[in-house]
């Protein structure tokens, strides 16, 4: 089980309570598909991904990005039990979606950069460390049920 200080819990709660899911979710997935184009392999049925402009304007991608971001809410609400909380989603990503777990880290890095752009200097080294720790725990939990 991962240990969280009061400070860390507060940072995470604060970050998510002020989060513009529609904006950040769309931007994060869009940016991931542009910066790491091989991740497009999972989005064959999502419409035009031909170039960066098309990806940015693709409403299916935007909507899916928001959905993925809301996936983090489970961790937010169960910080002391993230591994068990994501067991089902882990099986889904492995058995049904067949997502290479290395890709979780890519999206995680891109999300960090999108949030950094959004928060500016409020994204202090301490906030960054806490947020990245949070994402790393989620990423680990998502990869746990792969076999």
Partner 1 sequence: MTSLTARDKTTVKAFWNKISGHGPMIGQDALTRMLAVYPQTKTYFAHWKDQSPTSESAKKHGMTVMGGVADAVTKIDDLSGGLLGLSELHAFTLRVDPSNFKILAHNIMVVMAIMFPVDFTPEVHVAMDKFLAALARALAEKYR
Distance CA 102, CA 108 (A): 10
Query: Concatenated DSSP letters for 55-89?
Result: HHH-HHHHHHHHHHHHTTHHHHHTGGGHHHHTHHH
Site for partner 1 contains 112 (CB under 8 A): yes
User: Of 18 and 78, which CB lies nearer to partner 1 in the complex structure?
Assistant: 18
In degrees, to the nearest 5, what angle opens at C-alpha 18 toward C-alphas 80 and 9? 25
Q: What is the nearest approach in angstroms of partner 1 to the Cβ of residue 125?
A: 4
Three-class DSSP category at 115: helix
Q: What is the nearest approach in angstroms of partner 1 to the Cβ of residue 96?
A: 28
Q: What is the nearest approach in angstroms of partner 1 to the Cβ of residue 91?
A: 29
Residues at the site binding partner 1, with contacts judged by CB under 8 A: 30-31, 34-35, 52, 56, 109, 112-114, 116-121, 123, 125-126, 128-129, 132
């Amino acid at each position: 089980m991962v240990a969280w200080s009061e400070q860390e819990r507060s940072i995470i709660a604060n970050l998510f309570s002020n989060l513009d899911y529609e904006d950040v979710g769309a931007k994060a997935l869009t940016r991931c598909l542009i910066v790491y184009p091989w991740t497009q392999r999972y989005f064959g049925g999502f419409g035009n991904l031909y170039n960066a402009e098309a990806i940015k304007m693709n409403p299916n991608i935007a909507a899916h990005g928001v959905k993925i971001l809301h996936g983090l809410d489970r961790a937010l609400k169960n910080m002391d039990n993230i591994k068990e909380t994501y067991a089902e989603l882990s099986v889904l990503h492995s058995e049904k979606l067949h997502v290479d777990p290395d890709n979780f880290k890519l999206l995680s890095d891109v999300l960090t950069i999108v949030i950094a752009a959004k928060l500016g200097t409020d994204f202090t080294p301490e906030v960054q460390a806490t947020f990245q720790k949070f994402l790393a725990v989620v990423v680990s939990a998502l990869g746990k049920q792969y076999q």
